[in-house]
Amino acid sequence: MKKLIAALLAAMVALCGMALADYRPATASPTPAPFGRVHGVVSDATDPSVKLAGVQVSSQGQSATTDAQGNYTLQLMPGSHTLTFEKDGYIRTTADVRITQGGDAQRDCSMSRELSSNEFRVVLTWGSAPSDLDSHLRGASARGREYHVSYKDIKPADANNEAQLDVDDTTSYGPETTTFTVTNNSTYVYYVHDFTNRQNSRATGLQNSSAKVEVYSGNEQIAVYTVPSGTGRYWEVFRIENTSVRTINRIVDSEPSR
């Protein structure tokens, strides 16, 4: 009997050992990272082929420096953030971004060199569609000659070297950059034309374009406009009257005049 009991116990031990050897604990799903990522390229607003190295990009205590090709990457907690871009000789620039957990957002930046107190620079950017938005500026030179800056005439003779279209983009995103000098007692109007949908008087391309206009003067960014809702082919953004900027920010279907 003792031999039988011993044999049964040995068999039970062997079976338990086999069960333990075959046991594998369940693998837990990896916990998503508590942050997201924003990355982009920083370039010169008047020549996008020039990528800016050494730009300090920061938001809420996190910072990065662009490499030789103008690239940067930041890891941020989910939520809405304002990115700040700084580099000697350039105007401090900001851009908003929305970060999701584990997400990947892109925010490129076009930075303007510092200007004189009576110089203005306007930078237009937008999304993938419409493919072609055009910057327009109507103004008058110091000698009183009216001019119209656009892709049709990037540096009008009547502007007397006081206004020009630095960059024209026809394949989405931008930037389109306009630089001009203002004089007292003159009026200027800046607007954007939806060239892609130029034949459609009820076009909604502008309101869906994610277009943004940044305005610089002297050594600061003085205004940022995002495209409003509305149907039409023209976005009248702002006017300058006696050197003061007046916000318009409306979509219309007739071309604005000075």
Higher pLDDT, 195 or 9: 195
Task: Give mean pLDDT, residues 83-87.
Answer: 98
Of residues 35 and 89, the one with the higher pLDDT is: 89
pLDDT of the residue at 70: 98
Residue 131 confidence (pLDDT) above 90: yes
pLDDT in tens, 197-224: 999 999 999 999 999 999 999 999 999 9
What is the model's pLDDT at position 185?
A: 87
* pLDDT above 90: residue 157: yes
Would you place residue 13 in the very low, low, confident or very high pLDDT band (cuts 50, 70, 90)?
Answer: very low
| Minimum mean pLDDT range among 6-15, 64-73, 151-160 | 6-15
Task: Extract the runs of DSSP E, i.e. beta strands, from 55-103.
Answer: 56-59, 62-65, 71-76, 79-86, 93-99
CA distances to 54, 90, 107, 114 from 38, in Å: 17, 22, 7, 26
pLDDT of residue 33: 63
Distance CA 30, CA 41 (A): 31
Do 191 and 237 form a contact (C-beta atoms < 8 A)?
Answer: yes
Which residue type sits at 133? L
Strands (E), 117-233: 119-125, 133-140, 146-149, 163-167, 176-181, 187-194, 212-217, 220-226
Residue 49: helix, strand or coil by DSSP?
strand
pLDDT band at 230 (very low <50, low <70, confident <90, very high): very high
Give bridge partners of residue 9 from the DSSP assignment.
Answer: none
Is 50 exceeded by the pLDDT of residue 59? yes
Amino acid identity for residue 16 in this structure = C
Given a cut of 70, is residue 147 above it in pLDDT? yes
Chain centroid to CA 155 = 26
CB distance 97 to 81 below 8 Å: yes
Contacts of 49 (CB under 8 A, 6+ apart): 43
Residue 184's pLDDT band, with cuts at 50, 70 and 90, is confident
Phi, psi of 227 (to 5 degrees): -65, 135
In this prediction, residues 226-240 reach a mean pLDDT of 97
CB atoms within 10 A of CB 107: 19
